[in-house]
Amino acid sequence: MVGGIATLTVAVGAALAVSGLTAGPDAGPTSAPMPTAAATPSPVPTPTPTPTITEFPANTVAYDPAGLAQVDVFAVNAGLPVDDDPYAVPSEAIATPRAAGAPVFADPTAEPIGFLPATLPFDGTSVPVVERQEHWLKVLLVGRQPVPSQGNAAQVAGWVRAADVDVVPSDAHVEVAIGARTIDIVRGEERQTIATDFAWGTEATPTPLGRSYIMTTRVVPEFGYTRGHPIVYLSVQSPTLDGFGGADAAVTAFHYHDERSGAISNGCVRVDPAAIAALAELPEGTPVLITP
Protein backbone atom coordinates (compact mmCIF):
# COMPACT_ATOMS: atom_id res chain seq x y z
CA MET A 1 0.00 0.00 0.00
CA VAL A 2 1.09 3.56 -0.59
CA GLY A 3 1.70 5.73 2.43
CA GLY A 4 2.97 9.20 3.19
CA ILE A 5 4.15 11.67 0.60
CA ALA A 6 7.15 10.75 -1.52
CA THR A 7 7.47 10.59 -5.28
CA LEU A 8 5.59 8.56 -7.85
CA THR A 9 7.96 7.72 -10.69
CA VAL A 10 6.41 7.96 -14.12
CA ALA A 11 7.40 5.51 -16.81
CA VAL A 12 8.32 8.50 -18.83
CA GLY A 13 10.94 9.40 -16.33
CA ALA A 14 8.83 11.66 -14.15
CA ALA A 15 7.70 11.11 -10.60
CA LEU A 16 4.97 12.04 -8.19
CA ALA A 17 5.82 13.85 -5.01
CA VAL A 18 3.99 11.52 -2.66
CA SER A 19 5.41 9.50 0.22
CA GLY A 20 6.38 5.87 0.11
CA LEU A 21 7.41 6.10 -3.53
CA THR A 22 10.69 6.65 -5.33
CA ALA A 23 11.55 10.09 -6.60
CA GLY A 24 13.63 9.12 -9.57
CA PRO A 25 14.84 6.41 -11.93
CA ASP A 26 17.25 4.97 -9.35
CA ALA A 27 14.82 5.13 -6.47
CA GLY A 28 14.34 2.12 -4.26
CA PRO A 29 11.31 -0.04 -3.58
CA THR A 30 9.55 2.73 -1.72
CA SER A 31 9.50 5.13 -4.65
CA ALA A 32 6.45 6.49 -6.33
CA PRO A 33 5.45 5.34 -9.82
CA MET A 34 7.16 7.15 -12.72
CA PRO A 35 5.48 8.37 -15.92
CA THR A 36 6.70 6.42 -18.94
CA ALA A 37 8.64 8.21 -21.66
CA ALA A 38 6.95 8.54 -25.04
CA ALA A 39 7.88 6.86 -28.37
CA THR A 40 6.22 4.43 -30.78
CA PRO A 41 2.49 3.94 -30.22
CA SER A 42 1.58 0.89 -28.15
CA PRO A 43 -0.40 -2.04 -29.47
CA VAL A 44 -4.16 -1.53 -29.49
CA PRO A 45 -5.53 -2.59 -26.09
CA THR A 46 -7.18 -6.01 -26.12
CA PRO A 47 -10.51 -5.47 -24.39
CA THR A 48 -12.07 -7.98 -22.01
CA PRO A 49 -15.70 -8.14 -23.15
CA THR A 50 -18.21 -7.87 -20.31
CA PRO A 51 -21.77 -8.99 -20.98
CA THR A 52 -24.21 -6.17 -20.31
CA ILE A 53 -27.88 -6.45 -19.41
CA THR A 54 -30.49 -3.73 -19.68
CA GLU A 55 -30.48 -2.82 -15.98
CA PHE A 56 -28.63 -4.37 -13.04
CA PRO A 57 -30.69 -4.68 -9.83
CA ALA A 58 -29.94 -2.53 -6.80
CA ASN A 59 -27.49 -3.80 -4.17
CA THR A 60 -27.76 -2.42 -0.61
CA VAL A 61 -25.35 -4.81 1.14
CA ALA A 62 -22.92 -3.16 3.60
CA TYR A 63 -19.40 -4.37 2.79
CA ASP A 64 -16.37 -4.16 5.09
CA PRO A 65 -13.59 -2.23 3.28
CA ALA A 66 -10.99 -4.10 5.36
CA GLY A 67 -11.92 -7.29 3.55
CA LEU A 68 -11.51 -5.82 0.07
CA ALA A 69 -8.35 -5.10 -1.94
CA GLN A 70 -7.64 -1.39 -2.28
CA VAL A 71 -7.89 -0.02 -5.82
CA ASP A 72 -4.97 2.38 -6.23
CA VAL A 73 -2.12 3.09 -8.66
CA PHE A 74 -0.09 0.16 -7.29
CA ALA A 75 -2.94 -2.35 -7.36
CA VAL A 76 -2.53 -5.53 -9.40
CA ASN A 77 -5.93 -7.19 -9.18
CA ALA A 78 -6.89 -10.09 -11.45
CA GLY A 79 -10.54 -9.26 -10.79
CA LEU A 80 -10.36 -5.81 -12.39
CA PRO A 81 -11.76 -5.99 -15.97
CA VAL A 82 -9.77 -4.42 -18.80
CA ASP A 83 -11.75 -1.61 -20.42
CA ASP A 84 -13.93 -3.27 -23.07
CA ASP A 85 -14.48 -0.17 -25.23
CA PRO A 86 -11.11 1.64 -25.17
CA TYR A 87 -11.78 4.12 -27.97
CA ALA A 88 -15.18 5.39 -26.84
CA VAL A 89 -15.30 8.81 -25.24
CA PRO A 90 -16.62 8.56 -21.65
CA SER A 91 -19.87 10.26 -20.73
CA GLU A 92 -19.63 13.84 -19.51
CA ALA A 93 -19.60 12.92 -15.83
CA ILE A 94 -17.03 12.25 -13.09
CA ALA A 95 -17.81 10.16 -10.01
CA THR A 96 -16.13 10.49 -6.60
CA PRO A 97 -16.67 8.07 -3.67
CA ARG A 98 -18.74 9.25 -0.73
CA ALA A 99 -17.81 8.73 2.92
CA ALA A 100 -14.92 6.24 3.27
CA GLY A 101 -15.16 4.97 -0.29
CA ALA A 102 -16.98 2.66 -2.67
CA PRO A 103 -16.89 -1.12 -3.26
CA VAL A 104 -15.84 -1.96 -6.82
CA PHE A 105 -17.49 -4.75 -8.81
CA ALA A 106 -16.45 -6.55 -11.99
CA ASP A 107 -20.03 -7.82 -12.23
CA PRO A 108 -22.83 -5.95 -10.41
CA THR A 109 -24.62 -9.27 -9.78
CA ALA A 110 -21.58 -10.76 -7.98
CA GLU A 111 -19.46 -9.90 -4.96
CA PRO A 112 -17.12 -6.84 -4.99
CA ILE A 113 -13.52 -7.37 -6.07
CA GLY A 114 -12.01 -4.22 -4.58
CA PHE A 115 -12.57 -0.95 -2.76
CA LEU A 116 -11.99 2.59 -4.06
CA PRO A 117 -11.22 4.88 -1.09
CA ALA A 118 -12.47 8.45 -1.00
CA THR A 119 -8.85 9.65 -0.86
CA LEU A 120 -5.50 8.18 -1.90
CA PRO A 121 -1.92 9.50 -1.59
CA PHE A 122 -1.62 9.67 -5.39
CA ASP A 123 -5.27 10.51 -6.03
CA GLY A 124 -7.10 8.70 -8.84
CA THR A 125 -10.40 8.60 -6.93
CA SER A 126 -12.24 11.02 -9.24
CA VAL A 127 -13.17 8.65 -12.05
CA PRO A 128 -14.89 9.16 -15.42
CA VAL A 129 -18.24 7.47 -15.95
CA VAL A 130 -18.37 5.29 -19.09
CA GLU A 131 -21.84 3.77 -18.57
CA ARG A 132 -24.72 4.87 -16.37
CA GLN A 133 -27.72 3.00 -15.00
CA GLU A 134 -30.24 3.81 -12.29
CA HIS A 135 -28.39 1.87 -9.57
CA TRP A 136 -24.92 1.45 -11.09
CA LEU A 137 -22.13 3.36 -12.80
CA LYS A 138 -19.34 1.82 -14.85
CA VAL A 139 -16.13 3.83 -14.38
CA LEU A 140 -12.47 3.79 -15.37
CA LEU A 141 -10.06 3.03 -12.51
CA VAL A 142 -6.39 3.15 -11.53
CA GLY A 143 -4.35 -0.02 -11.12
CA ARG A 144 -3.76 -3.01 -13.42
CA GLN A 145 -5.27 -6.42 -13.96
CA PRO A 146 -1.82 -8.03 -14.39
CA VAL A 147 1.60 -6.51 -14.96
CA PRO A 148 2.74 -6.57 -18.64
CA SER A 149 5.03 -9.58 -18.18
CA GLN A 150 1.99 -11.61 -17.11
CA GLY A 151 -0.75 -10.37 -19.42
CA ASN A 152 -2.67 -7.33 -20.65
CA ALA A 153 -1.88 -4.28 -18.48
CA ALA A 154 -4.26 -1.92 -20.32
CA GLN A 155 -6.67 0.54 -18.69
CA VAL A 156 -9.04 -1.10 -16.22
CA ALA A 157 -12.69 -0.40 -15.38
CA GLY A 158 -15.31 -1.52 -12.90
CA TRP A 159 -18.80 -0.91 -11.54
CA VAL A 160 -19.70 1.16 -8.48
CA ARG A 161 -23.11 1.62 -6.89
CA ALA A 162 -24.75 4.96 -7.66
CA ALA A 163 -25.54 5.37 -3.95
CA ASP A 164 -21.82 5.20 -3.07
CA VAL A 165 -20.63 8.10 -5.24
CA ASP A 166 -21.25 11.74 -6.02
CA VAL A 167 -21.42 12.63 -9.71
CA VAL A 168 -20.53 15.99 -11.24
CA PRO A 169 -20.54 17.12 -14.88
CA SER A 170 -17.33 17.01 -16.89
CA ASP A 171 -17.14 19.61 -19.64
CA ALA A 172 -13.87 18.55 -21.26
CA HIS A 173 -11.78 15.65 -22.46
CA VAL A 174 -8.32 15.42 -24.08
CA GLU A 175 -7.65 13.83 -27.47
CA VAL A 176 -4.09 12.84 -28.43
CA ALA A 177 -3.56 11.77 -32.06
CA ILE A 178 -0.07 10.30 -32.40
CA GLY A 179 -0.17 10.01 -36.19
CA ALA A 180 -1.33 13.60 -36.64
CA ARG A 181 0.91 14.83 -33.78
CA THR A 182 -1.91 16.88 -32.29
CA ILE A 183 -3.29 17.27 -28.77
CA ASP A 184 -6.74 18.83 -28.41
CA ILE A 185 -8.85 19.79 -25.43
CA VAL A 186 -12.46 19.21 -26.48
CA ARG A 187 -15.41 20.97 -24.83
CA GLY A 188 -18.67 20.10 -26.54
CA GLU A 189 -18.36 21.29 -30.13
CA GLU A 190 -15.31 23.41 -29.34
CA ARG A 191 -11.85 21.99 -30.00
CA GLN A 192 -8.71 23.75 -28.73
CA THR A 193 -5.50 22.44 -30.31
CA ILE A 194 -2.77 22.87 -27.70
CA ALA A 195 0.03 20.99 -29.50
CA THR A 196 0.97 20.30 -33.12
CA ASP A 197 4.04 18.24 -32.21
CA PHE A 198 5.15 16.25 -29.18
CA ALA A 199 7.16 13.18 -28.20
CA TRP A 200 5.70 9.75 -27.49
CA GLY A 201 6.95 6.26 -26.59
CA THR A 202 9.47 4.15 -28.43
CA GLU A 203 8.68 0.75 -29.94
CA ALA A 204 10.04 -0.93 -26.81
CA THR A 205 8.20 1.40 -24.42
CA PRO A 206 5.11 2.56 -26.32
CA THR A 207 2.59 5.10 -25.18
CA PRO A 208 -0.57 3.21 -24.16
CA LEU A 209 -3.45 3.71 -26.56
CA GLY A 210 -7.14 4.09 -25.76
CA ARG A 211 -8.95 6.02 -23.07
CA SER A 212 -7.75 6.81 -19.56
CA TYR A 213 -8.09 9.81 -17.26
CA ILE A 214 -6.10 12.38 -15.31
CA MET A 215 -5.12 10.74 -12.02
CA THR A 216 -3.28 13.67 -10.43
CA THR A 217 -1.22 16.76 -11.31
CA ARG A 218 1.91 17.68 -9.37
CA VAL A 219 5.11 19.68 -9.58
CA VAL A 220 8.15 17.49 -8.84
CA PRO A 221 11.27 19.66 -8.48
CA GLU A 222 13.48 16.54 -8.31
CA PHE A 223 12.85 15.96 -12.01
CA GLY A 224 14.99 18.66 -13.49
CA TYR A 225 13.95 17.87 -17.06
CA THR A 226 10.47 19.24 -16.29
CA ARG A 227 12.03 22.72 -15.68
CA GLY A 228 9.56 23.28 -12.86
CA HIS A 229 6.47 22.59 -14.97
CA PRO A 230 3.75 20.30 -13.57
CA ILE A 231 3.45 16.63 -14.43
CA VAL A 232 -0.06 15.44 -15.37
CA TYR A 233 -0.26 11.76 -14.39
CA LEU A 234 -2.71 9.40 -16.10
CA SER A 235 -4.55 6.35 -14.81
CA VAL A 236 -3.07 4.05 -17.46
CA GLN A 237 0.37 2.44 -17.20
CA SER A 238 3.03 1.11 -19.57
CA PRO A 239 2.05 -1.87 -21.76
CA THR A 240 5.62 -3.23 -21.56
CA LEU A 241 7.12 -2.19 -18.19
CA ASP A 242 6.13 -3.92 -14.93
CA GLY A 243 7.70 -1.05 -12.97
CA PHE A 244 9.94 1.93 -13.48
CA GLY A 245 12.66 3.69 -11.51
CA GLY A 246 12.48 1.21 -8.65
CA ALA A 247 8.72 1.61 -8.21
CA ASP A 248 6.08 -1.10 -8.57
CA ALA A 249 4.23 0.94 -11.17
CA ALA A 250 4.99 2.47 -14.58
CA VAL A 251 2.62 5.40 -14.87
CA THR A 252 2.10 7.31 -18.10
CA ALA A 253 2.03 11.12 -17.96
CA PHE A 254 2.10 14.38 -19.85
CA HIS A 255 5.16 16.47 -18.97
CA TYR A 256 7.52 19.11 -20.26
CA HIS A 257 10.88 18.10 -21.78
CA ASP A 258 13.46 19.96 -23.85
CA GLU A 259 13.47 17.02 -26.29
CA ARG A 260 9.87 16.62 -27.34
CA SER A 261 9.42 15.41 -30.90
CA GLY A 262 8.93 11.87 -32.19
CA ALA A 263 9.05 8.37 -30.72
CA ILE A 264 11.73 8.90 -28.08
CA SER A 265 10.20 8.50 -24.62
CA ASN A 266 9.55 5.65 -22.18
CA GLY A 267 5.83 6.05 -22.88
CA CYS A 268 5.05 9.52 -21.58
CA VAL A 269 3.89 12.35 -23.80
CA ARG A 270 6.42 15.21 -23.79
CA VAL A 271 5.03 18.65 -24.56
CA ASP A 272 5.98 22.32 -24.56
CA PRO A 273 5.30 24.81 -21.72
CA ALA A 274 2.02 26.12 -23.14
CA ALA A 275 0.58 22.62 -23.61
CA ILE A 276 1.49 21.36 -20.14
CA ALA A 277 0.06 24.54 -18.61
CA ALA A 278 -3.26 23.97 -20.39
CA LEU A 279 -3.37 20.29 -19.39
CA ALA A 280 -2.52 21.10 -15.77
CA GLU A 281 -5.65 23.27 -15.51
CA LEU A 282 -7.92 20.28 -16.13
CA PRO A 283 -9.45 18.59 -13.07
CA GLU A 284 -8.70 15.09 -11.85
CA GLY A 285 -10.93 12.58 -13.59
CA THR A 286 -10.82 14.36 -16.95
CA PRO A 287 -10.92 11.69 -19.70
CA VAL A 288 -7.97 11.32 -22.07
CA LEU A 289 -8.19 9.48 -25.41
CA ILE A 290 -4.94 8.49 -27.17
CA THR A 291 -5.18 7.18 -30.73
CA PRO A 292 -2.51 5.89 -33.18
Catalytic residues: 257, 268
User: Which helix (DSSP H) or strand (DSSP E) does residue 285 occupy?
Assistant: none
CB atoms within 10 A of CB 87: 14
Beta pairing partners, 262: 199
Determine the Cα–Cα distance for residues 216 and 281; give it in Å rounded to an integer: 11
Determine the Cα–Cα distance for residues 139 and 52; give it in Å rounded to an integer: 14
Determine the Cα–Cα distance for residues 152 and 145; give it in Å rounded to an integer: 7
CB atoms within 10 A of CB 133: 17
Determine the Cα–Cα distance for residues 11 and 36; give it in Å rounded to an integer: 2
For the chain, how many residues are written? Answer: 292
> What amino acid is encoded at 172 in this protein?
A
* Closest to 92 (Cα-Cα) out of 285, 253, 233, 254: 285
Determine the Cα–Cα distance for residues 234 and 251; give it in Å rounded to an integer: 7
